[in-house]
Structure 1
Amino acid sequence: MSTFTTRTLDVTTGSAETVADLTSDCTAFLRDVADGRDGLLNLFVPHATAGIAILETGAGSDDDLLAALHDLLPADNRWRHRHGTPGHGRDHVLPALIPPHATLPIIDGRMALGTWQSVCLVDTNRDNPDRTVRLSFLG
């Protein structure tokens, strides 16, 4: 019999562009709810200016991602969406490149991530430092 359990995380990203590692939060959630079962973990960010990425962190890849996003989506006045900080329109394009969700396989109650993979919240919006991430386990 499958069960569905959900929880929200409140994440403060601050006033700088951020890649926030959520891997330990996901691990703690699964420890509480998965009980060693196989299933799926879904993460969802109910924000128009943030996304979920699976990538290596701590070796510069998180900074490389932010630099690549800055190159692809410059914080200037080219954007039609113009409220907030100058260039804020780019933040509303971000979820088209880094979606606001990810689904991961769970094996024996643990995320089946690769050796260097981490689960991250990507937030380039300096106008909103408070984020919610919904974790849902189906297993």
Structure 2
Amino acid sequence: MADTFISRTFDVPTGNRETVHDLTSTCTAFLDEVARGRSGLLNVFTPHATAGLAVIETGAGSDDDLLTALGHLLPSDDRWRHRHGSPGHGRDHVLPAIVPPHATLPVVDGALQLGTWQSVTLVDTNRDNPERTVRLSFLG
């Protein structure tokens, strides 16, 4: 049975444009502080109806490719029934069904176990909210 549960929130400025924000260094710093060499699970959660979390490659164009793919799947136009906010905002409320607002990742001996090119990212297509909250929870 796990004997440690530590949870903390932090804010992420996302501005007024679609973004894929890399959270990996924040996750690593959190684990360096709280895991202290223990193994367990890191849960990453964003409590928003219009944002999600993805484990993807960043910096080589994949983050922009993800936003392009989401633009094709969820166009920002007037087809959506959910109509408050900026035009096409209804698609932002569908995003978490495709890019979920949570990710649970393995931690071994205090280290996040990501693949070579994997990063933990916040995906935000909602231009109406310039700041997001993310909760990190370590169970180990």
Pair 1:17-2:18 in alignment: yes
1:42 is aligned to: 43
Cα offsets for 1:83-102 (capped at 9, x unmatched): 00000000000000000000
Give secondary structure in 2 for the equivalent of 1:36: coil
Give the residue type in structure 1 aligned to 2:15. Answer: G
Pair 1:60-2:57 in alignment: no
CA–CA distance in structure 2, aligned partners of residues 125 and 132 of structure 1: 14
Give secondary structure in 2 for the equivalent of 1:52: strand
Pair 1:127-2:128 in alignment: yes
**Alpha-carbon deviation of 1:9?**
1.3
Instruction: Give TM-score scaled by structure 1 length.
Output: 0.99
Runs (4 or more) in structure 1 with deviation over 2 Å come to none
**Alpha-carbon deviation of 1:45?**
0.4
Instruction: Give TM-score scaled by structure 2 length.
Output: 0.98
> Which consecutive residues of structure 1, in runs of 5 or more, have no partner in the other structure?
none
Give the residue type in structure 2 aligned to 1:74. Answer: P
Give secondary structure in 2 for the equivalent of 1:104: strand
Report the number of matched residues: 139
Give secondary structure in 2 for the equivalent of 1:48: coil
CA–CA distance in structure 2, aligned partners of residues 2 and 27 of structure 1: 20
1:79 is aligned to: 80
Give secondary structure in 2 for the equivalent of 1:126: coil
Give secondary structure in 2 for the equivalent of 1:71: helix
Give secondary structure in 1 for the equivalent of 2:29: helix
Cα RMSD over matched residues?
0.6
The percent of aligned pairs where both chains have the same amino acid is: 76
